[in-house]
């Protein structure tokens, strides 16, 4: 018996988790004691049922777990690497090199791109204008 729960946002849809079943064919019957009368099942009516087939799903991922040695060796030779067998896995950490690279980056900022240069320019122009007006120059 698998209890069903309503699926949020999907009216009249329910879900339930069944235990892992052995391979084979099963019959699923809906057993709701409260609805026996409404569905007229008490007078010899048949409860709703459905067939369920449990089969294995063979995929190449689960069947072929070993790497093809020939293509792996060619790839390792082309990239400067090495193919390790499973019993050589303990040597892997010592083969890994640090791939950090230090680079010097120089970034130039022109003088006129700084806000202080603009303020200084307008301060000088304003002072020059004030001096010219006080002296009586145009």
Beta-carbon contacts of 111 under 8 Å, excluding residues fewer than 6 positions away, are 117
pLDDT digits (tens, 9 = 90+) for 79-93: 988 898 888 888 888
pLDDT on residue 113: 79
- Residue 132 pLDDT > 90, yes or no? yes
Tokens of 85: 């067998």
Phi, psi of 33 (to 5 degrees): -55, -35
Averaged pLDDT, 11-33:
81
- Residue 61 pLDDT > 70, yes or no? no
- Residue 133 pLDDT > 90, yes or no? yes
- pTM for this predicted structure: 0.32
Confidence band for 45, pLDDT divided at 50, 70 and 90: low
- Residue 76 pLDDT > 70, yes or no? yes
Residue listed under structure tokens 């329910």 = 14
pLDDT on residue 43: 61
Please name the helix (run of DSSP H) or strand (run of DSSP E) that holds residue 115, with its range, or none: helix 115-135
pLDDT on residue 121: 92
pLDDT on residue 85: 85
């Amino acid at each position: 018996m698998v209890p069903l729960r309503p699926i949020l946002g999907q009216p009249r849809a329910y879900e339930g988790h069944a235990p892992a079943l052995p391979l084979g064919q099963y019959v699923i019957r809906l057993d709701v004691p409260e609805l026996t009368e409404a569905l007229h099942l008490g007078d010899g009516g048949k409860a709703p049922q459905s067939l369920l087939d449990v089969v294995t799903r063979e995929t190449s991922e689960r069947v072929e777990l070993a790497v093809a040695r020939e293509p792996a060796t060619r790839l390792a030779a082309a990239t400067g690497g090495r193919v390790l067998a499973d019993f050589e896995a303990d040597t892997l950490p010592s083969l890994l090199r640090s791939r950090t690279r230090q680079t010097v980056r120089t970034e130039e900022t022109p003088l006129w791109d700084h806000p202080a240069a603009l303020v200084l320019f307008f301060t000088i122009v304003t002072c020059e204008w004030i001096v010219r007006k006080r002296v009586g120059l145009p």
